[in-house]
Homo-oligomer: A and B are copies of this chain.
């Protein structure tokens, strides 16, 4: 579903998720990215490294707290936003659901995901 669109942009689906977060808030930490996307650092570190190698982001250890790594968009990363803007509607169109049903489904998925992670964290 996503792949033909993402191949055009030269990114993978998890990279697209990272960009979605960064397009909304320009700079974040690895920890915050992990919390937002439910991904742990074993997944994020190599993922972000590849994105940095592609020139989409820049990583830099925080001077305030050296345990933290700040992640920010490059100009190239910002520029992808426009090209990627057609993807949500294309996914909705391919889903076989109406726009309203699609939005409802996304909300339901997010709620279920949030709940599952809450339950997992309690164990």
Contacts and interface: CB of A to CB of B under 8 A. Distances in A.
A52 B70 CA distance: 45
Contact of A96 (B95, B96, B112): B112
B116 A1 contact: yes
A105 B96 contact: no
A106 to B, nearest CB: 11
Contacts of A95: 112, 115-116
A4 B119 CA distance: 12
A112 B102 CA distance: 10
14 contacts: A1-B116, A1-B119, A1-B120, A4-B123, A94-B116, A94-B119, A95-B112, A95-B115, A96-B112, A96-B115, A96-B116, A96-B119, A105-B108, A105-B112
